[in-house]
Amino acid sequence: QIVFSRQFEQPFRGDEFQVYRVLRSINPSPYLFYFDYGSYKIFGSSPEAQMVIQDGVARVNPIAGTYRRSGDVDEDARRAEALLADPKENAEHIMLVDLARNDLGRHCSQVRVRELKEVHFYSHVIHLVSKVEGRLGPDANPIQIFGDTFPAGTLSGAPKFKALTLIDQYENQNRSFYGGGIGYIGFDGNMNQAIVIRSFLSKDQVLHYQAGAGIVVASQEEKELQEVNNKLGALKKAILKAGC
């Protein structure tokens, strides 16, 4: 699997914080952030952790498997059942759960899948989400662990090194902020980092945003392109509702 992405940009002269306020309202997610670095700003509404370390336990939450929401509760329930039964989406999800287990296994003992293929509903999409965690040793270095597991397999594909090589070869632009990590690393060894997806970079009066989809041999180009557009739905709606 390879997770190819598409980058979008548009001129922007409005208030970034207003876009962020609208985004967090229409697409509430586990990670809501707004960072103002002066010459540029990064803000978003990310559903996925890059890495969480708490009290000696490291955790990642692979998100893979996506259907579009319909706007109707009953239809969304049917789509969730269809997503759980979709062989392609399930195969991709299990592949990325295994990759997360491998990544954590480099530094952890007792690696286990605590939750598998839970259905999560977001404003524009339905996702399958799992939780993989492992116990760290007493001498574990959180920065080393973060580096060894970066980027998330859900942003690269698997096997990771080969997928990243092909992404570098075929994507026609640097990913910049997209797919990075944003959060904190504490002096106590705890960490909480979100993956920078469903997010904006505002720089030089231009808004940049990006999304991707996992490509496998069974993929259909039109469906993968639609998945990218579905993931960007909340971002585009936030721009419009903010009046920018």
> Cβ-count burial of 168 within 10 angstroms (0-12 exposed, 13-18 middle, 19+ buried)?
exposed
Catalytic residue among 198, 208, 209, 233: 198
Q: What is the CA radius of gyration of the chain?
A: 18
Per DSSP, what are the bridge partners of residue 128?
119
Has 127 been annotated as catalytic?
yes
Query: Annotated catalytic, 66?
Result: no
Q: What is the residue whose two structure tokens read 């231009």?
A: 206
> Is 178 a catalytic site residue?
yes
Which DSSP letter does residue 72 get? -
User: Which one of the listed residues 178, 181, 212, 233 is annotated catalytic?
Assistant: 178
Cα angle for residues 107, 112, 113 (degrees, 5° grid): 125
What dihedral do alpha carbons 156, 162, 166, 167 form, nearest 10°? Answer: 20
Taking each helix axis from N to C terminus, what angle separates 233-241 and 16-26, rounded to the nearest 10 degrees? 130
What tokens does 57 get? Answer: 């336990």
198 catalytic residue (yes or no): yes
Whether 180 is catalytic? no
- Among candidate residues 59, 79, 127, 208, the one labeled active-site is 127
Of 44, 180, 212, 214, which is the active-site residue? 214
Active-site residue, from 67, 154, 157, 209: 154
C-alpha distance from residue 16 to each of 142, 149, 173, 194, 211 (Å): 32, 31, 24, 20, 19
Q: Which are the catalytic amino acids?
A: 127, 154, 178, 198, 214
